[in-house]
Structure formats: C-alpha cells, structure tokens
Structure 1
Amino acid sequence: MRIGVTGHRPRALPGGYNLDHPANKAILRWLTERLHELKPSVGCTGMALGVDQLFCLACVETQVPYVAFVPCAGQDRVWPPKSQALYKRLLEAAHEVRMVSSKPYFRGCMEKRNAAMKDWLLEEEGSVLLAVYAGLPGGTRRMIEACKSKLEIIVLDPRKIK
C-alpha cells in the first residue's frame, strides 16, 4: 500500500517554522503513528515546507521509503538557509526523487506536482492520503478534493492539537 501526504505550510500551522514547537512535534507524532498503523510499502511527498517535510521525517523515523515529488527546479531557492539544509538532507534520504518540471518555479507547478502524486497513489489499489488540513483554501484543499472519491483520506485538523 502506498501512502501520500498533503498539508499546510508553516504559516498555517500552530508551530510555524519551528520544528521543535509542541504543535509540530504533535503533527510529527501523528504522522509517525499513522505510518506504524498502516504499514505502507512506500510514501510520497511534495517536499514543501511544513507538513510535507514533517512527513519525510516520520518516514525516516519509521524506515518507510519515500518518493520526493519535486515541483520545479530550485524549489527551495527563497527559503531560509536552515530550511534549505533540511530540504537537501531529506532529498538525499529519499528512496527516489521525481522532478515534475526541470523549469524554475512557474504558476501551476504545485498543481502539476499534486496531480503527479495523485496519479502515483492511484497506481496501487488501497493507497491512502494523510491530510493535515484546517479547512483553509489552497493546495491542500485542492489535493483533498482531487482525491476524495478515489482514495481513503485520513485528516488531522491542526487547530485541534493540544
């Protein structure tokens, strides 16, 4: 069984950019618990800041290989140095890296990445999408909408983290 993730970027998470914040640790713990419980053969992530990278850390912790779907060249180009360093480490730890586009960022590249992830998940019956979703408009909502009739979706609302 394959497992994917979608979720908010740091600005929409209670813990923001601080991976040591209790809320981000709780999200990481939830992702890790789902990986232990579901026992997927492989995961997939879009490598964005926030939930995507927390999922990578959960995969590393649980020894679940993951495929990094990179939307464009230089995805991390405008990120803070600390975030860039983590991104590079997580790319190196990936089982496979799939470049969705070799072009630099362009309008729509994240949607193309999400479509590639959805198609990859649908290649294997019984795949699951984990979503850390607070009901906000954006890419997380669009990914959930695209997958809801095709995949089991397990949701954590980050506003309810204690």
Structure 2
Amino acid sequence: MTSPDADWIREQLDRIAVKLRNHYGTTSGITGMALGVDMWWASTLQLAEIPYTAHIPFPEQPDPWRTRNPEAVAEWKRLRALAADERMYGTLDGLTGDARKRRAVQLLHKRNDGMLAATDAVVAVWQRGKREGGTYSALVKAHQAGKPVVLVDIRSRFVTVPSPRRLAQLLHPERPVPLPLPLPS
C-alpha cells in the first residue's frame, strides 16, 4: 500500500467514525488489532472518543513485527491498553512450524467470527477484486449474516454502504445476478 493510499484511508476512517458517532449514535467499536487498518481504526475510535473492544486472536499477534517494526509493537501495546474491553481467542504458546501457522490461521478466523457476532455493522477497507485473505472472508460472512457494510474501496477511492445485492456483485462478480421477473398480470 502506498503512502497516499494510507493517508486517504486514514482520512476516511476518521470521517466514518465521526459520522457513525454523530449521526448514527454509535457508542462502541471493535478492532481486530492487526497491523495497518485495524490499528488505524483503533486509533481513530480512541480519538473520536468511541470506546472499543480489542479482539485479539492470540497474545503473540505482534511477535512477527518485533524486528522489522518495533514502533508497531509499541503502538499495538498502547492501543491494547486503551481498549475499553478485550477479547482473546487463544494462544500459540508451545507451537512451532506448521502447527503454529495452522493454529494462527484458525484463531484469526475465530477472531473475525467473534467480531462479526459482536457487531451490528461492519466498516471494511477492501481492495475490490481481492478474493483472498481475512478481509474478504469477513466481508463474505458479513454479507451472509445480513450485516450492513461501510465499504472503503481502496481501488476506486470511494466509500459506500452497498445494498446486499450490490455487495454480492462486488464479492462475487463471476456469479450472474438474476433479473427480477415481471409479475403476472
């Protein structure tokens, strides 16, 4: 992600948080505490004075960042401490190699499922067309659950709340959309 993209995304998250608070009465938020957008969202919620729950897949989440991005680890710890509440989904303690990787993926999905179960609506930053990874998986599940989605589309630099039909088209463009049949007269 380029710096201009990151700047644009952060501006949109700030705007969305204030609008959710001021116009829709949002009183709490949720973050997955992943490096990047999740941590930006936590910071945005904190600055907008919206209490948030940190959904942490495992306490070792920031470990891979320690050598290449120690500032991110410090920010993760700061945002974790500022959270109004915390939900932990498991641990990687004692696991190595492939077993550790498999368990991490399981807990990341469990975290995403927990966030979806705990929310009434979803704010998602997604690169339209990307059909893999946690954000795509969470968007598919949010759509299946009928949750409204505030979609921050990186590619088009557009923020929208797509209808369920439009979200289905965005998530699965290869599937034909049935045309409504005319009612018999």
Q: TM-score, normalised by structure 1?
A: 0.80
Radius of gyration: which is bigger?
2
- Greater helix fraction, Structure 1 or Structure 2: 2
Of structures 1 and 2, the one with the larger relative CO (CA 8 A, separation 6+) is: 1
Give the Cα separation in 2 of the matches to 1:109 and 1:115: 10
Residue equivalent to 1:117: 115
Query: Which deviates the most, 97-106 or 132-141?
Result: 97-106
Q: Does 1:72 align with 2:65?
A: no
Residue equivalent to 1:30: 12
Give the Cα separation in 2 of the matches to 1:26 and 1:58: 13
Q: Deviations over 1:10-64 (max 9, x none)?
A: xxxx23xxxxx33212211111111111211100011001110110111112111
Give the Cα separation in 2 of the matches to 1:89 and 1:58: 13
Matches within 5 A, 1:45-64: 45-64=31-50
Q: 3-state DSSP class of the match of 1:131?
A: strand
- Greater strand fraction, Structure 1 or Structure 2: 1
Matches within 5 A, 1:10-25: 14-15=1-2, 21-25=3-7
Q: 3-state DSSP class of the match of 1:75?
A: coil
What root-mean-square deviation, in Å, do the aligned CA atoms of Structure 1 and Structure 2 show? 1.6
Tell whether the 8 Å contact from 1:43 to 1:65 is kept in structure 2 after alignment: yes
- Name segments (4+ residues, structure 1) moved above 3 Å: 102-105
Percent identity among equivalent residues?
Answer: 28
* Structure 2: gaps spanning 5 or more residues: 94-99, 159-185
* Structure 1: gaps spanning 5 or more residues: 1-13, 16-20, 122-126
Residue equivalent to 2:29: 43
Q: 3-state DSSP class of the match of 1:160?
A: coil
Tell whether the 8 Å contact from 1:27 to 1:54 is kept in structure 2 after alignment: no
Give the Cα separation in 1 of the matches to 2:61 and 2:142: 24
Q: How many residues align?
A: 139
Within the candidate set 144, 147, 153, 1:151 is matched to 147
Give the Cα separation in 2 of the matches to 1:152 and 1:73: 30
